[in-house]
Amino acid sequence: MDDVEVRHLPGDLPRLFGPPGPAERTLSTSLPAGDLVWPDPGYPQRSQVLRPAFWLSEEPAPGGLWAGLRAEHDRSGLWPLLMDETDQPWASGQIAPEPVAEVENYVPQAFMSEVWSDWAEQAATEDLDDLAPFGRHCPGLAPPGVPLDDPDAMADRCSRALAARGLSLGLVPVERGADALAAVGWQGALNHNEWTAPLSAVLRGWEDRFGARVVALGFNTLELSVAAPPVTTRHAVQVAAEHWAFCPDILFQGPGTLAGYAEEIRGKTNWSFWWD
């Protein structure tokens, strides 16, 4: 085996995993200059363990770098993220990492039902049309989609398109991309959901049912690739209901109805979310 292929994690990357250290983890892809990102102790924290949350490049990531690092995830234990540094939340340490183990405490169906129930209690009659045909009644999780392509290949293509925006590269010590939101301490949905672990639980479900992959993260944005999107109107409306529970702003500040939003995502192989 080529020596390059068995090189251990370079620089300070092993510190991301904490003691005793990842002796068997390797990374052959060359990295640009970058630094570990530590939570700011003055920023409200949710974990008692203080250690670096992720690694961040100093300059924008080249187009194919994300794909190369994604291919090595099983060996390195590091999930790549394209990270928008426009509002500088990362380098300043404005993050509050949550233990990834907390993600398992949340069930996507229960999370969706709770969000729906809270909305239904306060919704006026005229608001019910926004979530037609479901109204006050949560429809539950949508069935899986039919794959249009390999999820990793789809993610690689998505990453190349997003890299054209000049995004930085992050590396996060997680076993699956869905957990990256909790691990980096992302605060983008704070006005919607105080904790990030439930959102990571929802993303795990989308990984399994729709071949989704977490590709990019901004101050209050999230970009996913999707290998098995809904292709029928009926399926898309039910998936749209899940999206609304995950991120209400995409509906209420977008098309305004589930039916309108469903048409936007039907057959679409990337999902974009933003929180106000």
Tally of structural domains, the chain: 2
- Are residue 26 and residue 83 in the same domain, yes or no? yes
Residues 80, 118 within the same domain: no
- Give pTM, 2 decimals: 0.93
In a domain, 10, yes or no: yes
- pLDDT on residue 49: 64
pLDDT at 114 over 60: yes
| Residues 206 and 262 both lie in one domain | no
Residue 7 and residue 83 in one domain:
yes
Confidence of residue 1 (pLDDT cuts 50, 70, 90): very low
Q: Which of 208, 224, 240 is the last residue of a domain?
A: 224
In this structure, the answer to whether residues 81 and 136 fall within a common structural domain is: no
Task: Please give the pLDDT value at position 21.
Answer: 52
68 and 172 part of one domain: yes
Residue 126 binned pLDDT confidence (cut-offs 50, 70, 90): confident
Whether pLDDT at 5 is above 50: no
User: Are 232 and 97 within one domain?
Assistant: no
* Shared-domain flag, residues 10 and 56: yes
Confidence of residue 20 (pLDDT cuts 50, 70, 90): low
For residue 141, is it within any domain? yes
Does residue 275 form part of some domain? no
pLDDT tens column, 136-189: 999 999 999 999 999 999 999 999 999 999 999 999 999 999 999 999 999 899
Task: Provide mean pLDDT across the span 98-113.
Answer: 96
pLDDT score at 271: 98
Shared domain for 161 and 188, answered yes or no, is: yes
User: 3-state SS of the chain?
Assistant: CCHHHHCECCCCHHHHHCCCCCCCCECCCCCCCEEEECCCCCCCCCCCCCCCCEEEEEEECCCCHHHHHHHCHHHHCEEEEEECCCCCCCCCCCCCCCCHHHHHHCCHHHHHHHHHHHHHHHCCHHHHHHHCCCCCCCCCCCCCCCCCCCHHHHHHHHHHHHHCCCCEEEEEECCCHHHHHHHHCCCCCCCCCCCCHHHHHHHHHHHHHHCEEEEEECCCEEEEEECCCCCCHHHHHHHHHHHHHHCCHHHHCCCCCHHHHHHHHCCCCEEEEECC
Same domain, 204 and 177: yes
If asked whether residues 167 and 83 sit together in one domain, one would say yes
Query: Would 276 be classed as within a structural domain?
Result: no
Range of the domain at 81: 3-101+152-224
